[in-house]
């Protein structure tokens, strides 16, 4: 969800207009490596199809994310989703993907209150 919404946000707010690009295919933004698809990732992507995130003001926001620390949930309300943190929550079986989004983005520099989903 965070990767999708990061890209979506930058369609409306291009990060690299001098390159005529919304995002770069580098670690400056998001890296795509051809032929690295795995079925579990494809399933996760398909499960969030048709669902988007908006902040408490009702606008699409930049869903930043980072690697985080293995075995740690990451910082609540940081405005940055932790890759290791989401694995931590998934392994615990205590949060759905939307609850994880709330954990990182609610009451952060991305949203002054609770985020919400929308359908498209």
The answer to whether 56 and 114 have CB atoms below 8 angstroms apart is yes
Q: In angstroms, rounded to a whole number, what is the distance separating the alpha carbons of residues 5 and 47?
A: 14
Query: In this structure, what are the phi and psi dihedrals at residue 21, rounded to the nearest 5 degrees?
Result: -135, 145
The answer to whether 101 and 51 have CB atoms below 8 angstroms apart is no
pTM of the model: 0.85
Per-residue pLDDT of the chain (120 residues; tens, 9 = 90+): 998 898 899 889 988 878 877 777 777 777 778 888 888 878 888 888 899 999 999 999 999 999 999 999 999 999 999 999 999 999 999 999 999 999 999 999 999 999 999 999
pLDDT for res 64: 93
Taken in order 61, 104, 87, 31, is the CA torsion positive or negative? positive
Residue 87 belongs to domain spanning: 2-119
pLDDT for res 38: 87
Number of domains in the chain: 1
Q: How many CA atoms lie within 13 A of 8 on its CB side?
A: 16
pLDDT for res 109: 97
pLDDT for res 85: 97
């Amino acid at each position: 969800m965070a990767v999708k919404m990061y890209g979506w946000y930058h369609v409306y707010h291009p990060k690299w207009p001098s390159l005529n690009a919304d995002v770069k295919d580098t670690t400056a933004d998001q890296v795509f490596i051809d032929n690295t698809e795995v079925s579990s990732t494809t399933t996760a992507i398909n499960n969030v199809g048709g669902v988007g995130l908006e902040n408490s003001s009702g606008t699409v926001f930049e869903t930043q994310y980072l690697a985080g620390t293995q075995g740690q949930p990451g910082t609540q309300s940081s405005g940055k989703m932790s890759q290791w943190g989401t694995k931590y929550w998934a392994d615990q079986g205590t949060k759905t993907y939307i609850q994880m989004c709330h954990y990182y983005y609610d009451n952060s520099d991305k949203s002054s209150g609770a985020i919400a989903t929308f359908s498209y």
